[in-house]
Amino acid sequence: MKGKSVLFASIRYGASSGDVSYMGRGNNSTFAKNVSRRKDIDVDGNFDIIAHGTSTFIQIESGGKTHNISAREAAKLIRKTPGYKQSKSIRLLSCNTGAVENGFAQHLANALGKPVYAPNKYIWATPSGNHFIAGKTSEGKPDYSIKGDFIKFVPGGKKYGKK
């Protein structure tokens, strides 16, 4: 990712200094539209990252293409984002990024040297901007019987890529 990266082409920065969306504007952007209406932007100095995610990567949508990127690659992008340096911590609004102990969120905390809060299940957002963490039904809808939460990951866990 040296020089100018194609990944920066479609990144949308939010209204506050602590808000960046790596989701595209296509059919899958309903979550991004809904969560951008949240009332808790920059809570306690959090820098919010909106992206599709898993326990091992997040997705960056740029130039009509989707890129799965590691925590190390994400850290490079985040460091260049306006408002990041002032933040106390990172909050990932990205499904399952906190689902495993030594996964994406831990690696990102290690790479950035800041605490990372990440959901351990799917994150959902209503049209009014309220968001919650829950499981997912076979129909792709929230499973309210499976509650989730934001998990805090602190720097100092296992170094990225090392066991």
Q: How far apart are CA 60 and CA 80, in angstroms?
A: 15
Which of 48-82 are b and which e, b meaning 16 or more Cβ less than 10 Å from the residue's Cβ? Answer: bbbbbbbbebbbbbbeeeebebbbebbbbbbeebe
Q: Are 153 and 97 in contact (CB under 8 A)?
A: no
* pLDDT of the chain, 163 residues: tens digit per residue: 344 444 444 444 444 435 778 776 554 578 888 888 787 777 667 899 999 999 999 998 877 788 999 999 999 999 988 888 888 999 999 999 999 999 999 999 999 999 999 999 999 999 998 999 999 999 999 999 999 999 999 998 755 444 4
pLDDT for res 44: 67
Contact criterion met (CB below 8 Å) for 113 and 155: yes
Q: What is the pLDDT of residue 27?
A: 46
Q: In the prediction, which pLDDT does 7 show?
A: 44
